[in-house]
Amino acid sequence: MRLEPSDEQRQILDSVDRFMARQLPPAETRRRDREQDPPYHLLRSMGDAGFISAPFPEAVGGLGRPWTTVVLMQERMASLGLMAASLFTRTVTFGGMALMSYGSEAQKQALMPALIRGELLFAFALTEPGAGTDAAAIETRAERHDGGWRLNGRKTWISDADRADYIIMPCRTGPRGGGKHGISMFLVPRSSPGLHMSVLPKAGHNCMPSWDVGVDDVLLPDDALMGELGAGMRHMQSTLHFARAGQAASAVGQAQAAVDLALEHAKTRRQFGQALGNFQVIAHMLADMQTRVDLARLMLYHLASLIDAGLPCRKESAQAKLTAAEAFHFIADRGMQILASAGYSLDSDMQRYWRDSRLYMFGEGPVELQRNLIAREMGL
């Protein structure tokens, strides 16, 4: 497993640096976070730059880059501006990898070219008022209706729902109370009559809006079904490692940025006649912060290498998400302590890292669930 970027990967990372400097410089990131103004316009620019095409096979217009390269791109982009990295990752995983893993050939042919060009945004509507970590508790129903499907229910905390072109929506097609059995996946156009949305204010991730989605007699054609009828849980699990790799990469990138910010402050801030970093308690705090992000980075790169090799990685994907989430949360909290009032100011990037880091501890599978999955893979 190669740990240092190759010459080709360095060139790709340089292109990410140039893209971010041009499209989303630090001042613009701060403004958009403050004004809760998502940079959805970047999607097309990412398509033009070839970023979105990176992980997809040449047969559908992609570049066929390995995941060891894709996570480097995600990590670097997140270190410079999470809102761009998150948009990139959500497009690749929620849209592209879902289509590639369980979309029909007709769905792939119709949607993958536009997705790769950055012309389509996808949302993934799993969470419900009574279902989240327990995905098998989904109650939103899809029933046969005039040769197609009729959907009814409610989804909540759905990122990008109001701006998405399509919402990938798991629904129950089997008997109520059927647990993980009888769940199917549907491709729902955002323009479908019967979808009603209201925004959900939250503490962080200001440029990833979350929505409550009412699903009232939404009618779909038969070919809106994705994959096999009743195989929704299996289909969702088929893309989990891609999503967890993306989440881990975003957390690692931001964690490193937080370490760098705290380190610069410790070198330049003077107290009691000397640099803050000369005090052992601060130096040790920074040493722990850097060690945690490096450990999380190793877990991430290991996961990416397993994905590229086509090897089983259920345990490693959970480990990568767990270590990255806890590292970022730990680092952002210690960073706030080191910067103190300077970090608590809304003018500081550290308070944004602090707010944003909390979501990784429970979003898309809490750390407690990751530990359960790891233990299960160990045979416990």
Question: Is the distance from CB of 361 to CB of 325 less than 8 angstroms?
Answer: yes
Task: List residues bridging with 124 in a β-sheet.
Answer: 168
Pairing, β 122-124 against β 166-172: parallel
Q: Which two tokens stand for residue 237?
A: 């699990």
Q: Which two tokens stand for residue 131?
A: 């279902």
Q: Which residue has 């893309």 as its token pair? A: 239
Q: Which two tokens stand for residue 129?
A: 């008022």
- Alpha helices (H) in the chain, listed in sequence order: 7-23, 26-35, 42-49, 67-80, 82-90, 98-102, 105-116, 232-237, 240-268, 280-309, 314-339, 341-344, 349-357, 367-377
Q: Which two tokens stand for residue 73?
A: 């791109």
364 is catalytic: yes
Helix, strand, or coil here: 155?
strand
Catalytic residue, chosen from 75, 316, 326, 364, is 364
Question: Is the distance from CB of 65 to CB of 71 less than 8 angstroms?
Answer: no
CA distances to 44, 195, 214, 256, 306 from 170, rounded to whole Å, are 27, 15, 14, 35, 28
Query: Which residues carry out catalysis?
Result: 364
